[in-house]
Amino acid sequence: MFGLAKEINKSKAWKRLEHQAKRMRKIEMRDMFDKDPERAKKFAVGLENIFVDFSKNRIDERSFAALLNLAKEAKVAKRIEQMFAGDKINTTEHRAVLHTALRNRGNAPVYVDGRDVMPEINRVLAKIKTFSEAVRLGKFTGQTGKKLTNIVNIGIGGSDLGPKMAAEALKKYWAKDIRCYFISNIDGTACAEVLNKLDPETTLFIVCSKTFMTIETLTNAKTCRRWLVDALGEPAVAKHFVAVSTNVEKVAEFGINTDNMFEFWDFVGGRYSVWSAIGLITAIAAGYENFEKMLEGAYEMDRHFRTAEPAKNIPVVLALLSVWYGNFFGIRNHAVVPYDQYLCYLPAYLQQLVMESNGKSVGQDNKFVKYQTAPVVFGGAGTDVQHSFFQMIHQGTSVVPCDFIVPAISHNEIGEHHEILLANVLAQSEALMRGKTLQEAAAELKAAGKSKEEVARLKKYKSFKGNRPSNMMILKKIDPHALGMLVAMYEHKTFVEGVIWNINSFDQMGVELGKQMALQILPELQGNREGTKHDASTKALISLIRGLRK
């Protein structure tokens, strides 16, 4: 139903882009800037408090037009409408994809199987508001009547990365007496290190698991439950645990009051769930009004994505650039570098969003695709990463497109800190684009008083190829509205990439195989079962570990 009539890599648009890429390999970005003083205006889009400059990319008007034609041939506009309309575009699981409905601030009806889902979404949002305010005001208290000020989110994947990213990004808005913690890894150290910091009387646990059966989350939740019961007794569970789940029976069996269970739905995938009750910890820490502003920011990006023409549609443009480098230049990596400490978890969040969504090799037509799909996403906060992987980005043999993200105004304007930060991010982007020729390096060394021999010896080390692409995303400030816009922008970019590659961005079956095999190995490690068929290496490792643990 949703597959392309023809494989996209055999389309006229694709073939035209192969020709354009061959032409563009010979063109330097610095030359394009020198020849066209309007370039920075032509290749930039502003939307409220976010401005995206994509002029430092290896495109010109001809190649950009060819990219837009690819979007047309892939029927991107039609697929956007199908998503917002609630069509079941998650074809392998036969589900609608409606994380956009969670932030539908216009409250227009959204139908799934003929039923408007907005009343149910609004009911859960109202419940989040009531509960988060009760915790913040000390009206919902723990077993001993003390205010709950330590909030612990227990989840994994989208139930951890999303709320952790959002809560940290909005840390400036936290109530002064609230502290947030996150437990995700099955490694007992992750659980122990958090519990060692907490007072049972003032701790609230939020268990985030749609099925309430995820092994990592339930194992951690049970450990936290034992810790609490040992300190305060069995009745404390109902006062110190809440759940974000759909499994009423399992939640009640755990001892959680089902009045304190917050639902979400099959049409919301885990990595798109930060807008749902999965964001409960953000609403408690930063206040529901700020959680709501984050939803409003995402809604503004949704409206832009749905209505803007492709050439000025931020997610569409960014997706096309990703396809351009991955499929026509053979570039397999992409770096995301926020120059704001509050966004330090954004790269990890985007790793899951991009690679879990589009790390696929089977198309919607049930055939193996014959072209590259998702890039490897990595990153970290600037300026820290300038002293880690930027050497490779500037002078390595691999070209790595970069997204730079920076607010014009910091929440913490201390001395010259922010001006220095801004100068660094702008310099990195320009340096990647311009580079430094051998002639420029030689002239610089000569001006520094180096001898002719030293110039000859050092000029290659001091030169930079340049012509390395980047996008610059400038926000006025990292506030809830801007955060919502930014995250929704990346969601929609990822979706458009999947549309062009003709893959389903909304399942994650590749996550399951390792988990299934781990359940087979576990009883063998515990000595409860022998003889399961494994390769020689795995058998030997199981035996070695059992011996060491004795």
pLDDT for 5: 46
Residue 430: how many other CB atoms lie within 10 Å: 16
Q: How far is CA 7 from CA 11, 14, 15, 500, 503, in A?
A: 7, 10, 12, 10, 11
- Tokens describing residue 227: 């810790």
| Residues 213 and 247: beta-carbon distance below 8 Å | yes
Q: What DSSP character marks residue 197?
A: T
| Residues 84 and 101: beta-carbon distance below 8 Å | no
Q: What DSSP character marks residue 43?
A: T
pLDDT for 531: 63
- Terminal alpha carbon distance of the chain: 56
- Tokens describing residue 360: 């696929």
- Nearest 10 degrees: Cα torsion 497, 502, 508, 509: -150
For strands 50-53 and 261-262, give the pairing.
unpaired
For strands 376-379 and 333-338, give the pairing.
parallel
**Alpha carbon distance 195, 377 (integer Å):** 32
SS (H, E, C) 166-177: HHHHCHHHCCCC
**Alpha carbon distance 473, 216 (integer Å):** 36
Class of domain 9-73+308-434+468-507: alpha beta
| Residues 532 and 520: beta-carbon distance below 8 Å | yes
- Tokens describing residue 76: 């991107």
Q: Which residues are catalytic?
A: 356, 387, 515
Nearest to 495, CA basis, from 54, 52, 35, 97: 97
State the alpha helices, DSSP H only, in 233-313: 237-240, 248-254, 280-286, 288-307
Domain boundaries, the chain: 9-73+308-434+468-507, 101-291, 510-549
Determine the angle formed by the axes of helices 288-307 and 480-501, rounding to 10 degrees: 40
Class of domain 101-291: alpha beta
**Alpha carbon distance 548, 100 (integer Å):** 50
Per-residue tens of pLDDT for the chain, all 550 residues: 454 446 899 999 999 999 999 999 999 999 999 999 999 999 999 998 899 999 999 999 999 999 999 999 999 999 999 999 999 999 999 999 999 999 999 999 999 999 999 999 999 999 999 999 999 999 999 999 999 999 999 999 999 999 999 999 999 999 999 999 999 999 999 999 999 999 999 999 999 999 999 999 999 999 999 999 999 999 999 999 999 999 999 999 999 999 999 998 999 999 999 999 999 999 999 999 999 999 999 999 999 999 999 999 999 999 999 999 999 999 999 999 999 999 999 999 999 999 999 999 999 999 999 999 999 999 999 999 999 999 999 999 999 999 999 999 999 999 999 999 999 999 999 999 999 999 999 999 999 999 999 999 999 999 999 999 999 999 999 999 999 999 999 999 999 999 999 999 999 999 888 888 898 899 999 887 776 689 999 999 999 999 999 8
pLDDT for 550: 85
Q: How far is CA 129 from CA 12, 132, 245, 282, 451, in A?
A: 51, 5, 17, 11, 70
Q: How far is CA 394 from CA 429, 445, 463, in A?
A: 10, 19, 10
Residue 42: how many other CB atoms lie within 10 Å: 14
pLDDT for 460: 97
